[in-house]
Structure 1
Amino acid sequence: MHLVAVNAGADVSGAERVLIDLLRHARSQGHRVTLACPEGALPEQLADEVEHVALGINRLGRTRGWRRRLEILQLPLNWFRVGRQLRRISRDADALISNSTFALPAIGMAFPHHRFRGGNSPWISWLVHDTITSRKQRAVLRLGAPALDVAVAVSEVTAESVRPMVSNALVRPNGVIIPAEPRGGVETNPTQPVVGILAVLTSWKGQDVLLEAMVHLPGVQLEIAGAAFPGSEDFEQQLRDRAAAPDLAGRVNFLGHVHRDEVFPRWDVLISASTSPEAGPLGVLEAMAAGVPVIATDHGGAAEYLRGGAGVLVPPGDPEALAAAIEKLLQDRDGMRACREQARARVLAKHDLAETVPRMLGALISG
């Protein structure tokens, strides 16, 4: 079987990590794999494993005024050109998988009459990593939806957000590697608690909300792990400036890109402070598997993971509520232990990578 995977960008974050696992599993099953995406880190990680076709899908940047209007006017031509390219490289493909919401318009233009296709058209699926909440997302989905045979979402809340336009929407949750023994929190010091956030630095991840919560927790240290998302460098500088203010100075460390195994042993709690609903945050699942208690905002995939005692949920964008939840959990060692146990049991039951990847790939290539 020949699979073509499409990704709008080349940076590697959570969605791309899922795609890498899927494509490696496909290769292990003997499938031929073509990756269509821009040049960059993603194709470099798979350089010896898949065929790569360079693709240039325009996505609206952070421009304003006439530059932004010009970008919008140029989008249809870009989608048309990319669509023609996808049509060519998918000529002998059995399945085409979109790993990006913003690749859907080009796919829609490549296969405008897909629902009435003949025998030469591939099965087309969309792996949904975005909970569709904005007008821009809905507009993009509307352009690509007619070409889709199936949408495979990583959480039920995300599947519900796409069903108004893609009725065949399945749920196949993300998975993570589960360590044999939980190592989270084994190096913590009760007299100097440390909370951490593991996410790219961009405004909707909520690092700014967490900084404001820390103002109410003078005895707690914060570690911010993650590099700036492309285009979010100004936001990173705003975070650093805020952390240097007198009410936070000396209590916030920026770690840059680090592996979870470097930080989980010394973190008392992991925070997921996203202000927009994430479909299936891998960092939350990894913390649950490692035995790090999680406090997350009450929406998206994180809420599905943590309900019923596997973690603590707080309203999004509310630093006071977040601070109160952190303080309460740090003072409740029995509660922390219960969170660890329930969270790890849930990951073992539903989010083992060895089981989730084959199920997800199966849904993507055959529904």
Structure 2
Amino acid sequence: MSDKENKSTRVDPARVLVIVPNFKRRLSGVTSTIIQLVPLQAKRIGLATLGPGLPEHLPKLKWWQLPRLLRRPQGKKVRVWHARRNVEMIGGLLLRDLFRAPMKIVFTSASQRHHKSFTRFLINQMDAVIATSSKTAGYLKVPNTVVMHGIDVDRFSPPQSRAEASAELGLDPARLYAGCFGRVRHQKGTDVFVDAMIALLPKHPQWSAIVAGRATSQHKEFEDGLKEKVAQAGLSDRILFVGEHTDIDRWYRALSLYVAPQRWEGFGLTPLEAMASGVPVVATDVGAFSELVPAHAGVIVPPGSGDAMIAAVEPYLADDQMRERQGEAAMAHVLENFQLSGEANKLIALYEELMASAR
């Protein structure tokens, strides 16, 4: 056993007040949220994760420690189980209702559609429900608390020079870049962004475009079709497909405009990441985008409309002062309203309220 693995087992279940299960091995938006929040939360409250697919540096319960959860935690009558998926709600219900673990269960919903009957049944068994946006809250049939996601503003921050940020990535520092980041697929609207760039870049020769993200095997044909369309337009040197990057914060710093063209989204963090980097945003009206992007920092357009996207993007390509003004406003907006520490604090307050209310 490595030192890292050994440290991850050094969690005393008696001192754990909050359990954050992650029952999905593959990386997802939910997993990413857990990875970012847990280190902040663990500084303030006894908290541990449970399940695969998480970094070893996070506090982590082992499966063999589960029987210890049937006892009360030190200093409290109950602990909190924070589920974000159906399977995690089921796990919490088995512990609480079948094995009589002293536990309150919280569920976070990011879905913006009517839940299926089984999911509604599970949600009805929760002690508290969190919605990640007001739109999401509108689909819930139970009382809920809105806690919107935040981001790490130390990681996502403006560069001293966008030209230098571009040069560090091997891009042309003399050019301006519009970007679209995330998985490359129809749902994410990557084609809407590419079509808009094909229409606009010939009229704005100082601009180029960046598509950053991975196309999984089932969406590779979709990506290849976009690349072929770009090549036929003679823009392969100006619409760049750069693949997936773990240092995506560096790519935001090279941008002068960010476009979020999704046709559907649960929440969507990329507009926040861009705005924190001092970049104005054009986004579709899906997920929480209309609640994230204010009018003084960007524009919201209907999803799937190429004409609306072109009309919204073009003023940013032509007006340097508007971009700079909105970029500064975007950064200030995120600092005031969407810091990751704020999300962590709100969740901890909810946990503590639940534990204090336990009889």
TM range (shorter): 0.7 to 0.9
Structure 1 residue 360: Cα displacement:
2.1
Q: Partner residue of 2:33?
A: 18
Q: Partner residue of 2:256?
A: 268
Structure 1 residue 296: Cα displacement:
0.6
Aligned length: 317
1:74-93 deviation digits (Å, cap 9, x = unpaired) = xxxxxxxxxxx98x685347
SS in 2 for 1:203: coil
- Cα distance 1:53–1:217, how it changes in 2: closer, same or farther (>3 A)? farther
Does the CA contact (< 8 Å) of 1:96 and 1:123 recur in 2?
yes
1:42-100 deviation digits (Å, cap 9, x = unpaired) = 32x1356322449xxxxxxxxxxxxxxxxxxxxxxxxxxxxxx98x6853471111122
Q: 2:193 is matched with which residue: 179, 204, 210?
A: 210
Amino acid at match of 2:70: R
Q: 2:135 is matched with which residue: 157, 167, 177?
A: 157
Q: Partner residue of 1:91?
A: 70
SS in 2 for 1:217: helix
Q: Partner residue of 1:310?
A: 297
Q: Partner residue of 1:82?
A: none
Please show how residues 101-250 of structure 1 align to structure 2 within 5 Å: 102-103=86-87, 106-107=90-91, 110=94, 120-128=101-109, 130-133=110-113, 137-162=115-140, 164=141, 166-167=142-143, 169-179=144-154, 182-183=158-159, 186-187=162-163, 192-219=175-202, 220-228=207-215, 232-245=216-229, 246-247=232-233, 248-250=235-237
Find the aligned partners of 2:305 and 2:286 in 1 and give their Cα distance.
13
Does the CA contact (< 8 Å) of 2:293 and 2:300 recur in 1?
yes
Q: Percent identity?
A: 23
Amino acid at match of 2:347: M
Please show how residues 11-50 of structure 1 align to structure 2 within 5 Å: 11-29=26-44, 31-36=46-51, 39=52, 42-43=53-54, 45-47=55-57, 49-50=59-60
Name the TM-score, length of structure 1 as normaliser: 0.75
Find the aligned partners of 1:185 and 1:312 in 2 and give their Cα distance.
24
- Cα distance 1:32–1:261, how it changes in 2: closer, same or farther (>3 A)? closer
Structure with larger Rg: 2
- Cα distance 1:185–1:250, how it changes in 2: closer, same or farther (>3 A)? same
- Cα distance 1:110–1:233, how it changes in 2: closer, same or farther (>3 A)? same
- Cα distance 1:33–1:191, how it changes in 2: closer, same or farther (>3 A)? closer
Find the aligned partners of 2:89 and 2:121 in 1 and give their Cα distance.
5
Structure 1 residue 269: Cα displacement:
0.9
1:339 matched to 2:326: yes
Amino acid at match of 2:343: T
SS in 1 for 2:111: coil
Uncovered stretches (5+) of structure 2, i.e. residues with no partner: 1-15, 72-77, 167-171, 355-359
1:217-269 deviation digits (Å, cap 9, x = unpaired) = 233432121224xxx42213311232223025443322222223321232121
Find the aligned partners of 2:289 and 2:38 in 1 and give their Cα distance.
25
1:293-320 deviation digits (Å, cap 9, x = unpaired) = 1111123311111133221111101122
Uncovered stretches (5+) of structure 1, i.e. residues with no partner: 55-84
Amino acid at match of 1:226: G
1:350 matched to 2:328: no
1:121-154 deviation digits (Å, cap 9, x = unpaired) = 41100122x23315xx433521311221111222
